[in-house]
Structure 1
Amino acid sequence: MKVQFFILLTTCLISAVFGVSLKDDGRSYTLKNDYATVVIEKNSGKLTSIKIAGNNQEFLNRAYIDANGGKVGFKVSKSTVIKNTADHVEVAFYDNYNSNSSFGLDWEVRYTMLKDTKGVYFTLKHTHKPNYKATQFSEIRLVMRLKSNIFNWLQVEDDVGRIMPTAAQQKNCQIMGPKEACKITTGEVIHKYDWSIDMLKHDVHGFASQSTGLGCWYVFPSMEWKNGGAYNRDLACHQGENDSLQIMYMNGSHYGAGDTDIKQNENWEKIYGPYLIYLNKASSPQAAWKDAKAVAKAEKAKWPYSWVSMAGYVKQRGSVSGNISIKNPLTNENLPLEDAVVTLVQPENQQGIPNKQWRNYSFWTHSLRGNSIDFKINNVIPGTYVLRTWSKGVVGEFIYDKTVTVTAGQNTNVGNLTFKEKRAGPIAWEIGIPDRTAMEYRHGNEYRQWGLYYKFPQEFPNSVNFKIGQSNIAKDWNYCQVSVPGNGGKYEQRPWNIIFNMNKKPTGQAVLRVSIAASSDSALSVSLNGGKQSAEVNLQDDACVRRDGIRGFYRELEFKFNANDFKIGENKITLYHRKK
């Protein structure tokens, strides 16, 4: 018994002392704790090996950091050890600007492992000094190519997870249109954009293994640094034969967010992260996902991280609180708010629409409901912001007409903010739900699959002829209005009709309000009862339709009609949408 007790005591002491360690063999840094071993190549800053303790299974084929789809790479000029204690190991890699650099930027990449980290934290900092050349980029990403024969379960949201095709099934696949779509040997078409993510509520994505129970996840305590913030949608995970690609686009423009465009003489810096590369092992991919979600919740509670030493990372922050209600202007009653969002962004006249903002950080809260909602946005970097809000069931986005100043260590209470929904008069009819998506329409709840837009000519051979009071939005109104191939291969528009009856003519003007959830580079116009078409409204391209999304650039349009143009009995409004 004495011997057994002594052995047990010794084991406990060794475990407690071990903590986290750093090994430098001249070629690589090895970060290791009781849970994971991570190896980083010194001359590239790339992750070269990831393993869980007690399991010899290698996670990676390879990993890299780059820009603009690989056209610009992260090129290490030096590396250094930031911290090396039993509690905290951190290494940094630098790509400093010179006259031969592709970008006018300093890059600083850090990998951090604490003694209890189940994986490793990743952080990237960009700095542009006034004497650096002008720089423009659309993408900055961290890519980990996991072994697809092991990591064969992809998951990006609670309801978006699946087993992926094997490498053999993907080999020699038939390229479809768009070019990223690929028809595999089973007949299925896989499209990498089918697993894109909306930043608004996102906190985890990655892969798990059906055979081993291993999981590899990106866990985000905050998305404050993401260009476009709560408005942004971007690519996340997909697969390519032997590789399961786990990607984080720290800056991305796949859904119209636009380029980061830094001018010469501009002093700018931004820190992306830290975020956690989380490793786990569970009884099933679903269990691994559930565990990763729980870790995301725990990491959010730690934000901003106290252990970060990178210059420019803001730990002293403030908060913004208040109450929001939106009234029906005709009754002055509060409208019921559901899944409401409150955001803090930069002024549109200075930084562009929120979808395209990249220069600063943004903050938000979501999933609010009630007739009058209290909100609080925590951990806001001190500065001046514009408050914007929207809600499911209410048409419009509402902007507070005063700027909001946030001070470190303090809460800024904006008080009771009351907005009025824009209404010209009582609603005669409505098609769909104001929720900034097209999910309630035909195919809207299955948008994450390639080729739905090609089904339109067969499913609507006579185009859309929607009868108010008779037609069903889930069957008779398509989720997107597309042009179709015509004679000679040219695309032709197919006008959509809305048919409705009136017992009497309206007085004054009638207004048709159209809420656009997403759009391609196209133009929209309308007519009433076969009359003259309205002036065309040009729509921006957010790539949402061809990249299998359901939410892009939200926009509201108004078309006005004279009362005399209506008829007693049947009337018809026609929507003309053409590809530009």
Structure 2
Amino acid sequence: MGTVFKLVLIDHRTVMEKAAGWKRQWGLFVLLIVQLFFIVEASGATPVRGPGSINSRELKSSLPPLRLHRLGHDYVVMDNGIVMVTLSTPKGLVTRIQYQGIDNILEYNKETNRGYWDILWTTTRERVLDGFVMLRGSSGFYTYSIFERLEGFPAMTIDQGRVAFKLQHKLFNYMAISDTRQRVMPTPYDRSNGQPLDYHEAVVLTNPSNPQLKGEVFFSNHYAGRTMSLEFQDGEPWKKVFGPVFIYLNSDSANKDPSSLWEDAKKQSVRETESWPYDFPLSEDFPTAKQRGTVTGRLLVHDRYINRNLINANSAYGYQFWTRADAEGHFVIKGIRPGNYSLYAWAPGIIGDYRYDNFINIAPGGEIRVGNLVYYPPRVGPTLWEIGVPDRTAAEFFVPDPDSKRVNNLYTDHADRFRQYGLWDRYSDLYPNHDLIFNVGTSSYQKNWFFAHVTSPHSSHVAMMEGETQDVGGLESDFTDEDFAEINAIINLAVTSNFEEISEFYESSEGVNYANNARESGSVEEKMLNDAECASLLEEKFSTRDELLDRIRNMALKGGYVTTIKKSKLGCYVIIGCDRGGKYRGTSVPLSEGKRMSGSRLVNCPFQILGKKKVGKPWKVEIKDVSHNHEPSSDMSEHPICRRFSKEEVLSVKQMTMAGIPPRQILTSLRQSNSNCKAIARTVYNAKAAIKKKVLAGRTMIQALFDELGRGDFTFDVKRDGNGHLTHLFFAHPSSIALTKSYPYVFVMDCTYKTNKYKMPLLDIVGVSSFNGSFYSCFAFMQKEEEGDYVWALERFKTILGPDQQPSVILSDRELALMNAIEVVFPGTTNILCVWHIEKNVLSKSWQRLQVVYKEKEYVCNYIKNTWLPFKEKFVKAWTGNHLHFGNRVTSRAEGAHAMLKRYLTVSTGNFHEVREKICLAIENQHHEIKTKIASEKLRVIHKFQIPMFKELVTHVSIFALSELLKQYELAASSLLDPCRSQFSNTMGLPCAHFMQNMRGEPLLLSDIHPQWRIDIRSFNMDGGVNTNGSDIESLLKKFHDKYKCMPLGQREDSQKQIAQLINAEIPLTLEPTIQPHKGRPSGSKKRKGDSSTTRDPSAFEIVEKARKCSVCHHVGHNRSTCQRLKSLVDRGVLT
């Protein structure tokens, strides 16, 4: 596909360099910041003030405008008055850069060989967008490129991607890469006339234009090598933004020393880096700073063989974004693009990498605090000896002097003197007859260990790597300490090499060692394949990697063996071994100190097959070793890999887990559908853990909870303490909100316990439906059960009802904190106390006392006066009979709702994310039942309701309400009707018997029925929205948009800034709650340590009843020892 390019001019810079005529010193700096294994796009928001610059305010009014214009049909020109860039169309090649009166700072080559984005690939089937940006007052321009592969594109390899500018050699003859790597450059003609060396990019300068360079070697790096290429399979999508790169030009006529230009460029580089990432690229593929995230934490190394305390690590990095930790191990990685990331780290002096267990999900503007990360390096014992320092460099080793005929003076006394050309070849001069021998204990790696592992004609000894054409030199280590011979030890090698060398080392050394170890140990040797089968396998070609893996896996299973992937690279190679291959490596904890009875099935089996694939060719097999050092298995369920679930079974496990089915029942169901299933209960637990990890997708539990509450249109709110720990969580399902708005009259509030691992009480607010059934309105987890906690929860509940809506009645226990909160938030609502709990409260706290002193009238009066009379209006029927409570005088429906909820939860040790999922299942099932029942009652006509008085109500009023009306109808027809006190109508919202008598046979009207009981007006709008202060977000935005049109420009800009601040406001970090001390149950209730059951502990009245209930006659008030019936049976000889 062709290359597309776009141009952007942005007029928001007010500083420019002072024009000063012809310049004798010129500089062009490509400010591209390269960090570790990836490219961090260079950034710039502040223009330079280079040598000779003047005050920006003085020049603000005189800055030339930005211009973009065509030059004929073939060119486009960008001009800001300082730099003018000409690009060809349609390819977007930079053909001319004009600066400080110079017609073109680029070399006068062909236009296709001056300035361009360069990409080397095996096919041109790729989309490329090249962008060029010029800012007002900036001494330079920006360029970036976006490479994209879409699904369906063919396989391809990208060997190189770069931006290149060919500069005039007459203007640019000095290079500066760093403070210590600077020098005069030869001209292109000097290089072309020099003596070529073996390395393609290296020449000896024989007759340079600058005599000081004569005899020097000049070379450059151009190619990274095939193994560093990007390889893509058929249909594999990929997209990458390279840049923006800032092309910065400066000049200085007053000073011939180029160091002034270099110092100016360094300052500009700092400005660019500090202002990264850019805010001006008009591409959705380049997130702005506000759209990126941050990761902070602290890396600590725990190596008990070096220091028993935690060691502060001083380096940490990520896959694409990296940083260096401070002296205490603290690190901050800023400017991270949104997405899922793995976090890696390494510390100088420690072999191996640290990897964070979870993926990290970066949201726009978010900040992830991973806390203290403790790295336990792979260790089996203290270090006996060490050659070099594992700091990912070879600077500490011996670097020889260069050949006198091949010297580059830049590196003569340089810290990076190993960069001298041809130093690797000095190995043959230093060791002409044999490879180097390093004597552990006496040799010094600074003097005796060659810095590079190079080709050599000498034979190898201990370890050898085989190249494609010749052997790589070996190494031999002599141990002078005789004690080493009696010690079991492990040697760790930190190798710097490309993939082929590492893989060949792996294949030759480990494979051979496996076989040798097996035979030396005297164990059995079993061949999985005979010679004919091996020959046949070598001839086979496989179109896909999975096809190859299945072929070898099935061959192994037939022989009683199991294969696994030991190492692989997508689309390149796969190393297949026996699942019993390798050795047990151990952990940082000694076996004697371990708490588990751990073991290992690994026996260092040597079996190994290599699958390889080259670009555009099928997969093929290379056999390394087909022997096993153990007998085949008679029962394949011995192998964990055979107990794995298929993708379909994993999906079934997920569905049944969501349905609340226990693991052992899940396993039973899977075995019924697949008789060959070899899984055990532990397999189900592992699958559930993997599913949970996948659902979290690298997010913390709290992050996942907030994300799913937001995406699910929940209404929710949280509170945090000073340390960021969550203390309160309120949420309402959109289905619950719809039901709450439809039935906003009567609610029951009560806390339940043993629902979550944090032991936080759960306030469950339950509503009443048309059928006199219950529904979940909302939930609130609270740190405590104090008045402030209840007020916070009820204020959120009030937002669901709306500012002008208050319930007529709220039922609760005699919980003073909750009663006070109801009075504060809903002053117009009647709070009725549960009479059942009052009775049980009397039973648990006062009944025994009353039995003893019931004749003491003063005690009885004081108890009633102090405990219950202050709340008489809240439970005595004479008062509650005047309030619309729909027959609800007890909180039993809340207790039933608790019980139903706990049947979904199954355990009391779940976190909030898991609890929310189970609650959602309960709510969704409940909402479906209510909708179905309404639809059913609209169709059904109950025969006993077919009476004239009810003809307007049938199929419009719920069956429960009709049943209550039928009772009143029958009572009206009797002669036992008492005088009307209006209690039935006041409490139920339905016509009473007296009202029906007065109707004299006329039919009841729908207007006589309270809306609570109507089923013909239920819509259950599922928008889930909550009106705040009478306005929703859409109406607010519309009002703002109308007002915005009438604003002057200055006010518009201020409004935009305020909106941007709201959008990009930093979301506070929320941590998991701390475990709370809960109320618990009274003394006498049984408590089991570590119990995960959701079953509530017995209440005080239940303990009292149990203690007073006789086990013989089952009567309350005495026990077995005082039972008169038992005494009578014994006296009559019936019992002994």
8 Å contact 2:160–2:229 — kept in the other structure? Answer: no
SS in 2 for 1:515: coil
8 Å contact 2:107–2:168 — kept in the other structure? Answer: yes
8 Å contact 2:337–2:362 — kept in the other structure? Answer: yes
Deviation at 1:17, TM superposition (A): 4.9
Instruction: Please list every run of 5 or more consecutive structure 2 residues that lacks an aligned counterpart in the other structure.
Output: 1-56, 109-113, 207-213, 401-415, 460-468, 519-565, 569-581, 586-1136
For 1:354-393, list aligned pairs within 5 A. 362-366=320-324, 368-370=325-327, 372-393=328-349
Aligned length: 418
- Write 1 or 2 for the structure with the bigger share of strand: 1
Residue 196 (structure 2) aligned to one of 162, 171, 175: 175
CA distance in 1, matches of 2:423, 2:247: 34
For 1:411-450, list aligned pairs within 5 A. 411-443=367-399, 445-450=416-421
Residues 1:104 and 1:113: Cα distance change in structure 2 (over 3 Å): same
SS in 2 for 1:309: coil
CA distance in 2, matches of 1:129, 1:13: 48
Residue 24 (structure 1) aligned with residue 70 (structure 2): yes
Is 410-419 or 434-443 further displaced after alignment?
A: 434-443
SS in 1 for 2:310: coil
CA distance in 1, matches of 2:172, 2:388: 39
Residue 188 (structure 1) aligned with residue 216 (structure 2): yes
Residues 1:486 and 1:393: Cα distance change in structure 2 (over 3 Å): closer
Residues 1:154 and 1:558: Cα distance change in structure 2 (over 3 Å): farther
CA distance in 2, matches of 1:342, 1:515: 19
8 Å contact 2:88–2:94 — kept in the other structure? Answer: yes
8 Å contact 2:194–2:204 — kept in the other structure? Answer: yes
CA distance in 1, matches of 2:181, 2:583: 35
Residue 50 (structure 1) aligned with residue 97 (structure 2): yes
Residue 65 (structure 1) aligned with residue 93 (structure 2): no
8 Å contact 1:438–1:517 — kept in the other structure? Answer: no
Deviation at 1:32, TM superposition (A): 1.9
Letter in 2 for 1:136: T
Deviation at 1:505, TM superposition (A): 4.3
Match of 1:472 in 2: 444
Match of 2:497 in 1: 518
8 Å contact 2:312–2:329 — kept in the other structure? Answer: no
Letter in 2 for 1:40: L
Residues 1:417 and 1:539: Cα distance change in structure 2 (over 3 Å): closer
Letter in 2 for 1:261: F
Residue 275 (structure 1) aligned to one of 245, 258, 266: 245
- Residues 286-333 of structure 1: per-residue CA shift (max 9 Å, x gap): 332232222122112222211111232222111111111111133432
Deviation at 1:499, TM superposition (A): 2.8
SS in 2 for 1:124: strand
- Residues 316-363 of structure 1: per-residue CA shift (max 9 Å, x gap): 11111111111113343234534x1321x3xxxxxxxxxxxxxxxx21
Residue 342 (structure 1) aligned with residue 317 (structure 2): yes
Deviation at 1:506, TM superposition (A): 6.0
CA distance in 2, matches of 1:276, 1:423: 46
Give TM-score, length-normalised by structure 2.
0.34
Residues 1:407 and 1:14: Cα distance change in structure 2 (over 3 Å): closer
Match of 1:291 in 2: 264
CA distance in 2, matches of 1:491, 1:287: 50
For 1:174-323, list aligned pairs within 5 A. 174-185=195-206, 186-193=214-221, 235=222, 253-254=224-225, 256-261=227-232, 263-264=234-235, 266-282=236-252, 283=255, 284-315=257-288, 316-323=291-298
SS in 1 for 2:393: coil
Match of 1:564 in 2: none
Residue 168 (structure 2) aligned to one of 141, 144, 147: 147
Deviation at 1:114, TM superposition (A): 0.5
CA distance in 2, matches of 1:173, 1:107: 37
Q: Percent identity?
A: 25
SS in 1 for 2:364: coil
Q: How big is the alpha-carbon RMSD for the aligned residues of Structure 1 and Structure 2? A: 3.5
Match of 2:479 in 1: 500
Deviation at 1:260, TM superposition (A): 4.1
Deviation at 1:436, TM superposition (A): 1.1
Deviation at 1:64, TM superposition (A): 2.4
Residues 1:534 and 1:37: Cα distance change in structure 2 (over 3 Å): farther
**Higher RCO by CA contacts (8 Å cutoff, separation 6 or greater):** 1
Residues 1:494 and 1:516: Cα distance change in structure 2 (over 3 Å): closer
Residue 483 (structure 1) aligned to one of 449, 455, 469: 455
Match of 2:127 in 1: 106
Give TM-score, length-normalised by structure 1.
0.65
Larger radius of gyration: 2
8 Å contact 1:512–1:558 — kept in the other structure? Answer: no
CA distance in 2, matches of 1:300, 1:364: 14
Residues 1:272 and 1:424: Cα distance change in structure 2 (over 3 Å): same
CA distance in 1, matches of 2:330, 2:99: 43
Residues 1:513 and 1:135: Cα distance change in structure 2 (over 3 Å): closer
Is 290-299 or 513-522 further displaced after alignment?
A: 513-522
Is 505-514 or 383-392 further displaced after alignment?
A: 505-514
8 Å contact 1:171–1:184 — kept in the other structure? Answer: no
- Write 1 or 2 for the structure with the bigger share of helix: 2
SS in 2 for 1:458: helix
CA distance in 2, matches of 1:291, 1:254: 35
Residue 326 (structure 1) aligned to one of 297, 301, 319: 301
CA distance in 1, matches of 2:492, 2:251: 51
